[in-house]
């Protein structure tokens, strides 16, 4: 990988987009490397994945405008589809994903953050969708995920105006989970990942699947799916260990089985 590196520690994978000379901007190669890295991680079954950008200036400043400027419509659609596939691995993949956002998270960078389950922003983080100012629109899920996250009225305003917002406003809108000091987003994300990792990994994965399902189906169908996931876990060794440990007043030792 030229622009994406993955480090592993205590069951947590940290994926860093490192293209600092371009403020970690996304071109086709970077997006493909993100997707490939996530596919490899699925096979490894980490307990959580943290996504961040190298340096303090940018999480991901956006898509590479110079690379996009020479695309024809067919190339642009393919670029969007590759982006959708990579974002789906963050959003719908089995492992909880946490975005540690430092600096600019604009356009495609904001879309990467939105595809994660949890977003932690440093005080210097800036979010926005500037695409309409370029004569285009967000093409890696922004028009779909932002309305689902903060509601269509506020999402449309941000998308239509291209306005940038800071970390505190993003928190008020519900775009990020929490705001931490500048330079502290990655450490805070790792702490959260460790907290998640202490729980039963099968339980967390099934819980993510059930919670994600809520956005796609009606309540009755969602409840049926939840009941199925609930029942499946009772066949696991982790469930027996967790409930036995509770009765014995000790810390459970989960094996992911």
Element (DSSP H or E) covering residue 39? helix 28-44
Residue 256 has pLDDT above 80, yes or no: no
Task: Name the residue among 216, 193, 228, 199 with its Cα closest to residue 51.
Answer: 193
Residue 65 has pLDDT above 90, yes or no: no
CATH class of 201-247: mainly alpha
Residue extents of the structural domains in the chain: 4-197, 201-247
| Catalytic residue from among 7, 111, 169, 224 | 111
Would you tell me which CATH number, out of the four given (3.40.630.10, 3.40.47.10, 3.40.50.970, 3.90.226.10), belongs to the domain 4-197? 3.90.226.10
CA distance 87 to 203: 23
CA distance 91 to 149: 13
pLDDT (tens digit per residue) in 152-161? 999 999 999 9
Q: 128 - beta bridge partners?
A: 106
- Does pTM top 0.75 for this prediction? yes
The domains spanning 4-197 and 201-247 adopt the same CATH topology? no
pLDDT band for position 245 (50/70/90)? Answer: confident
Strands lying side by side in the sheet with 126-128: 58-60, 104-106, 126-128, 165-166
Looking at residue 138, what is its pLDDT? Answer: 95
| Catalytic residue from among 56, 75, 131, 191 | 131
Is 226 among the catalytic positions? Answer: no
pLDDT (tens digit per residue) in 12-64? 999 999 999 999 999 999 999 999 999 999 888 899 999 999 998 999 998 88
For the chain, the average pLDDT equals 93
Looking at residue 244, what is its pLDDT? Answer: 85
Is 111 among the catalytic positions? Answer: yes
Q: Phi-psi category of 251—alpha, beta or left, where left has phi over 0 and alpha has psi -120 to 50? A: beta
Looking at residue 204, what is its pLDDT? Answer: 93
């Amino acid at each position: 990988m030229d622009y994406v590196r993955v480090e592993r520690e205590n069951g947590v994978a940290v994926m860093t987009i490192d293209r600092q000379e371009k403020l970690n901007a996304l071109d086709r190669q970077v997006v493909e490397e993100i997707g490939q890295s996530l596919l490899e991680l699925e096979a490894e079954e980490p307990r959580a994945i943290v996504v961040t950008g190298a340096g303090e200036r940018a999480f991901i400043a956006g898509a590479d405008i110079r690379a996009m400027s020479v695309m024809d419509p067919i190339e642009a659609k393919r670029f969007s589809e590759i982006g959708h596939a990579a974002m789906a691995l963050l959003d719908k993949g089995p492992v909880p994903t946490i975005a540690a956002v430092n600096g600019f998270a604009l356009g495609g960078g904001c879309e990467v953050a939105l595809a994660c389950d949890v977003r932690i922003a440093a005080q210097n983080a800036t979010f926005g969708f500037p695409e309409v100012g370029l004569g285009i629109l967000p093409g890696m899920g922004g028009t779909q995920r932002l309305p689902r996250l903060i509601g269509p009225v506020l999402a449309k305003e941000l998308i239509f105006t291209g306005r940038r917002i800071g970390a505190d406003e993003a928190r008020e809108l519900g775009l990020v989970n929490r705001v931490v000091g500048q330079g502290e987003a990655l450490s805070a994300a790792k702490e959260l990942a460790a907290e998640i990792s202490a729980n039963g990994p099968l339980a967390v994965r099934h819980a993510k699947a059930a919670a994600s399902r809520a956005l796609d189906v009606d309540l009755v169908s969602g409840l049926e799916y939840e009941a199925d996931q609930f029942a499946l876990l009772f066949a696991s060794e982790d469930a027996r260990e967790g409930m036995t440990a509770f009765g014995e007043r000790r810390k459970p030792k989960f094996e992911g089985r």
